[in-house]
């Protein structure tokens, strides 16, 4: 395991205590259909519209006061940036968020609404990371990593603790996977208490970096990624998140663009949930399995990871499917 330590149950419990008055206890709702048992953990209902507040705040709350005073910087497709901006404001710090030039306007506006300075850099995670590292060096800023850090993973793992409390009979948890912070944290939390629970990670077909990396036996950097699920477009899994997935996740699936779009619209029309495409991939995977005649059995919880989509973009998805 390259001497990398997996995040412990104790670290996730510590994160839960830090987040008690910061992150919402989001609901788990039953949207099951006849051939498809399904509960949704609605992280789109977090104050920043996504689960990312958990990891960002858990990381930043452990920084020294003098470090916070010098400000923080991060690189993000949008949701992590909003979370860092929100956490920085609540902790009395300023923030710089490096976003792709293609970032959805709703996510840019969200980061700015929390007082962040937004800087644009290229279209890939590597473009953003390079610019953030440059800003950190020239302006003495502290980088808040988007996924590949124990404090980030532990914060995201609090979602797993909540699922076990809210749905004690859960048999399978299905999680969107970008860089891997969310699925790593949930897997660490759930497997530490309920090793019998099955963990499934889901990627867009056009950004299957975890699938490729597992096949290779080490993290692989893709030449490019492409999907409407803009929050899952990392070209490479994290070194630490890869080890969590390899050790704790039972299966990695991919879903295609049609399935992501259809499920995003289904969540709005049938479940009355505003969900961005990145947040819909786990539910899309569950629904695909049901359509193929091999549904996941018993209590299945899918993570709805984010809801930062404009009504105009949602309407465009709906129209494209009619």
pLDDT > 70 fraction of the chain, expressed in percent and rounded: 98
Q: Among all chains, which residue has been given the structure tokens 């208490």?
A: 193
Residue 322, pLDDT above cutoff 80:
no
Q: N- to C-terminal Cα distance for the chain? A: 48
Contact yes or no for 88/114 (Cβ under 8 A): yes
Label residue 1 by pLDDT band (50, 70, 90): very low
DSSP string, 62-92: TS-HHHHHT-EEEE-SSHHHHHHHHHHHHTT
Mean pLDDT computed over 139-143:
96
Contact yes or no for 184/245 (Cβ under 8 A): yes
Pick the CATH number of 9-47+149-320 from 3.40.50.720, 3.40.50.410, 3.65.10.10, 3.40.50.1100: 3.40.50.1100
Closest CA relative to residue 154, chosen from 195, 182, 194: 182
Asked which of 7-11, 26-30, 233-237 is least confident by mean pLDDT, the reply is: 233-237
Task: Provide the mean pLDDT of the chain.
Answer: 94
Does domain 53-143 fall under CATH 3.40.50.1100? My reply is: yes
pLDDT in tens, 306-321: 999 999 999 999 888 6
Mean pLDDT computed over 265-290:
96
Strand-pairing partners, residue 134, are none
pLDDT in tens, 168-205: 999 999 999 999 999 999 999 999 999 999 999 999 99
CB atoms within 10 A of CB 14: 17
pLDDT in tens, 241-256: 999 999 999 999 999 9
pLDDT in tens, 27-79: 999 999 877 899 999 999 999 999 999 999 999 999 999 999 999 999 988 89
pLDDT of amino acid 3 = 53
d(CA 81, CA 98): 8
The two three-digit tokens of residue 108, written as one number = 């840019």
In the chain, where does the domain assigned CATH 3.40.50.1100 lie?
Answer: 9-47+149-320, 53-143
pLDDT of amino acid 267 = 97
Residue 125: half-sphere exposure toward Cβ, Cα within 13 Å: 25
Annotated active-site positions, please? 52, 305
Element of type H or E holding 42: strand 39-42
The two three-digit tokens of residue 204, written as one number = 């867009």
Contact yes or no for 284/176 (Cβ under 8 A): no
User: What letters, b where the CB count within 10 A reaches 16 and e where it falls short, cover 263-300?
Assistant: bbbbbbeebebbbbbbbbbbbbbbbbbbeeeebbeebb
Mean pLDDT computed over 112-133:
93
The burial class, CB within 10 Å (0-12 / 13-18 / 19+), for 308 is buried
pLDDT in tens, 204-221: 999 999 999 999 999 999
Of residues 293 and 12, the one with the higher pLDDT is 12
Label residue 10 by pLDDT band (50, 70, 90): very high
Mean pLDDT computed over 91-100:
95
Contact yes or no for 56/85 (Cβ under 8 A): no
Mean pLDDT computed over 266-294:
95
Dihedral (CA of 81, 85, 86, 88) sign: positive
């Amino acid at each position: 395991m390259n001497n990398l330590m997996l995040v412990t149950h104790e670290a996730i419990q510590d994160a839960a205590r830090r987040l008690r008055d910061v992150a919402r206890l989001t609901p788990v709702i039953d949207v099951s259909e006849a051939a498809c048992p399904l509960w949704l953990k609605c992280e789109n209902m977090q104050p920043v519209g996504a689960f990312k507040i958990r990891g960002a705040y858990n990381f930043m709350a452990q920084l020294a006061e003098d470090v916070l005073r010098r400000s923080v910087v991060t690189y993000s497709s949008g949701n992590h940036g909003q979370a860092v901006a929100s956490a920085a404001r609540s902790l009395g710090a300023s923030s710089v968020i490096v976003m792709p030039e293609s970032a959805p306007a709703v996510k840019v506006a969200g980061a700015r609404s929390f007082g962040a300075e937004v800087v644009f850099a290229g279209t890939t995670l590597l473009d953003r990371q390079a610019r953030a590292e440059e800003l950190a060096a020239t302006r003495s800023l502290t980088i808040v990593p988007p996924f590949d850090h124990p404090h980030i993973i532990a914060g995201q793992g609090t979602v797993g603790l909540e699922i076990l409390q809210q749905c004690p009979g859960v048999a399978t948890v299905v999680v969107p996977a970008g860089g891997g912070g969310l699925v790593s944290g949930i897997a660490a939390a759930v497997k530490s208490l309920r090793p019998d629970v099955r963990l499934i990670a889901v990627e867009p077909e056009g950004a299957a970096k975890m699938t490729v990396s597992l096949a290779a036996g080490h993290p692989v950097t893709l030449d490019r990624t492409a999907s409407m699920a803009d929050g899952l477009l990392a070209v490479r899994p994290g070194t630490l998140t890869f080890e969590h997935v390899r050790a704790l996740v039972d299966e990695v699936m991919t879903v295609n663009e049609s399935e992501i779009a259809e499920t995003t619209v289904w969540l709005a029309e049938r479940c009355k949930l505003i969900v961005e495409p990145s947040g819909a991939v786990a539910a899309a995977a569950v629904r695909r399995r049901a359509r193929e005649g091999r549904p996941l059995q018993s209590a299945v919880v899918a993570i709805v990871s984010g809801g930062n989509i404009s009504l105009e973009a949602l309407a465009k998805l709906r129209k494209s499917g009619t």
